[in-house]
Amino acid sequence: MTAVLTASQRATRRRRTLLVLGVLTLAVVAAYLTVDVTGSWGYALQQRGRRLAAMAVVAVAVAVSTVLFQTVTGNRILTPEIMGFDRLFVLIQTVGVFFLGAATVTTTDPRLRFAIEVVVLIGFGAVLHRSLFGRTERDVYVLVLLGVVLGSTFTSLTLLVSRLIDPNEFLTLQDLLFASFTSVDRQMLALSAVLVALVTLGVWRLLPRLDVVALGRDTAVGLGVEHRRVVNRALLAVAVLVAVATALVGPITFLGLLVANLARQLLGTHRHAWVLPGAALLAVLALAGGQLVLEQLFGFNSSLGVVVNFVGGIVFIALLIREPRQ
Amino acid sequence: MIEIESVSKSYGGVRVLDDVSLTIPTGGITSLIGANGAGKSTLLSVASRLLPADGGRVRVDGMDVATTPGPVLARRLAVLRQENAMSVRLTVRELVAFGRFPHSGGRLTAEDHRLVDEALAWFELGPLADRHLDQLSGGQRQRAYVAMVMCQGTDHVLLDEPLNNLDMRHAVQMMRMLRGMADELGRTVVLVVHDVNVASCYSDRIVAMREGQLVAEGPTPELMTPELLRKVFDVEVEVHELAGRRIGVPWS
């Protein structure tokens, strides 16, 4: 197990792993599009294609945001979702509908709405960032606890507000929040795809510096990386990506954790140029594969979120138990 | 040359550095000594811009560390902190290669690879190059970190307690390697050391600190005196000459 591979052997293995992941993902995508089509092929492909596109957008957003968040916090257990980012997003929507009314919210330019939501998420990210880096000794349990408390506070507030909301407005709100993969708005999808693509491209230039940031603040500063600037940009990207993913399909808490750690494990590296594509492919694989199994085997009787969270939750606990020993 | 001008630093109302002014000349090894909490590590951190100073300024080759762009400074000055726990899993070669980051930004050139190999050889890490850091002993790991800092190829190398966790053999080995960096490669090495005798045997100059203030600085033989050591450490220390070296003995 502790066989020592040379750098070039490792690189070869990484390339092969990524290739295998790519082929697997293509196979699952093809299967998802074509299995058990009855009736019009054109219609089936259009419907499934749109769902698949939504999954791909969410997969990339979740994978990239999780890897970046873990890098800047120097932690492999926390994800933006565990720290309550996505539930804050839900809370903002709910509070918006409550105070402004569904009519105002839905008629506001979606880009403006989105911008406001992202700004609040960035603010939250900044506060979290301070509390994460402010302490000298980063106790992972305290942080996880903080995330759980924040997350459930946001959820409780959301519940409270949604009970106060007029029932009709509540229906609109639900439409806003839980689009799920089966009913994604086409315009929203296009907007999200563009945003995710832009952010991912923007992040790509940061990757070498993020590799250094992953070594810890002091080492990064010593190597001449403007740590604060890189971290701020990464957190900005995280806020946008989480907002996109949550706006599209609602919270999937453990997907990011699952794919980020699996990607590092499989590829045997922390280099972002490898981990990001790996995690994104794994996320597409998990979502499309999971949805395929759900639709074909269980006849839509369960939600994908439940399955992903079940598997991801187990991984989370395993990591939590293992971490202190390192 | 590192010029420190009336630098102050407080943590929560406690003054850790109190108006410290000091010039560290180019070349050789300079050791910072002092009791725990004397402000040695803080001074090193401020000088290497890991910590911002509350007052005063530090210049390296005339460049103010607070305002010089990170990448520019990282080609002049390298620093290694005491704590280096990393959340990422790296091989020794990967770690050492990060030392080239200020020069090539993550895309290693042939020249970078040559320098990485050179640093690995210098610290006798060749056979361990493809091992992961967590598979190494404490001493080997420490060597890998110092190799990364050396690979950065800077004129100034600042190290905070590089002998931490090293046994006698590895401590001597490390000091010889640092001595070599200063003598053969012409680097200016600044160390925080808690063992006075290590400072005495291996460094050209000593900077003594106490309670955030500079007590004395100068060539090693001038500072290795019972009077000064008592002033710095609050303990009676006999200083004996042994084989041309001054050795302090506090157990009297």
Across the interface, of A225, A226, A270, the residue whose CB is closest to B88 is A270
Express each pLDDT in A169-190 by its tens digit: 887 777 666 556 666 677 778 8
Cβ distance of B101 and A6 shorter than 8 Å:
no
Mutate to test the interface with A, among B51, B101, B141 (most CBs of A within 10 A): B101
pLDDT of residue A325: 46
CA distance to partner chain A, nearest, from residue B55 (Å): 20
- For the record, the structure tokens of A85 come out as 């980012």
Per-residue pLDDT at A60 exceeds 80? yes
- On chain B, the residues whose CB falls within 8 A of the CB of A224 are 69-75, 101-102
Contact pairs from chain A to chain B, CB under 8 Å: 78
Nearest residue of B to residue A72, measured between CA atoms? B87
Cβ distance of A222 and B105 shorter than 8 Å:
no
Express each pLDDT in A76-107 by its tens digit: 888 888 788 888 888 888 888 888 887 777 77
Cβ distance of B81 and A5 shorter than 8 Å:
no
Cβ distance of B84 and A222 shorter than 8 Å:
no
Cβ distance of A211 and B75 shorter than 8 Å:
no
| Domain positions in chain A | 44-325
- Among the ranges A1-5, A147-151, B114-118, B132-136, which has the highest mean pLDDT value? B114-118
pLDDT of residue B155: 94
Cβ distance of B98 and A212 shorter than 8 Å:
yes
- On chain A, the residues whose CB falls within 8 A of the CB of B81 are 218-219, 222
pLDDT of residue A201: 94
Per-residue pLDDT at A136 exceeds 60? no
Q: Could you give the CA distance from residue A2 to residue B136 in angstroms, rounded to a whole number?
A: 12
pLDDT of residue A326: 42
CATH number of this structure's domain A44-325, picked from the four choices 1.10.10.10, 1.10.238.10, 1.10.3470.10, 1.10.540.10: 1.10.3470.10
Scored b (16 or more CB within 10 A) or e, A169-180 reads: bbebbeebbebe
| Element containing residue A54 per DSSP (H, E) | helix A41-73
* Confidence band of A291 (pLDDT split at 50, 70, 90): confident
Three-state helix/strand/coil letters over B188-235: EEEEECCCHHHHHHHCCEEEEEECCEEEEEEEHHHHCCHHHHHHHHCC
Alpha carbons within 13 A on the beta-carbon side of B159 = 27
- On chain B, the residues whose CB falls within 8 A of the CB of A212 are 98, 101, 106
Nearest residue of A to residue B113, measured between CA atoms? A7
* Confidence band of A139 (pLDDT split at 50, 70, 90): low
Q: Which ipTM was obtained for this model?
A: 0.90
Cβ distance of A222 and B78 shorter than 8 Å:
yes
Express each pLDDT in A211-233 by its tens digit: 999 998 889 999 999 888 898 88
- On chain B, the residues whose CB falls within 8 A of the CB of A4 are 130-131
Torsion (CA) B100, B104, B109, B114 in degrees, nearest 10: -20
Task: Read off the pTM.
Answer: 0.87
CA distance to partner chain A, nearest, from residue B49 (Å): 8
CA distance to partner chain A, nearest, from residue B109 (Å): 15
Domains of chain B: 1-76+155-220 (3.40.50.300), 83-153 (no CATH)
Q: Could you give the CA distance from residue A161 to residue A154 in angstroms, rounded to a whole number?
A: 11
3-state secondary structure of B3: strand
pLDDT of residue B46: 93
pLDDT of residue A25: 93
Q: What does pLDDT average to over chain A?
A: 82
Low-confidence spans in chain B with pLDDT less than 50: none
Per-residue pLDDT at A1 exceeds 50? no
Q: Work out the number of other CB atoms within 10 angstroms of the CB of residue A39.
A: 7
Phi, psi angles (nearest 5°) of residue B106:
90, -10
Across the interface, of A4, A74, A225, the residue whose CB is closest to B87 is A74
Cβ distance of B86 and A219 shorter than 8 Å:
yes
Per-residue pLDDT at A269 exceeds 80? yes
Cβ distance of A224 and B72 shorter than 8 Å:
yes
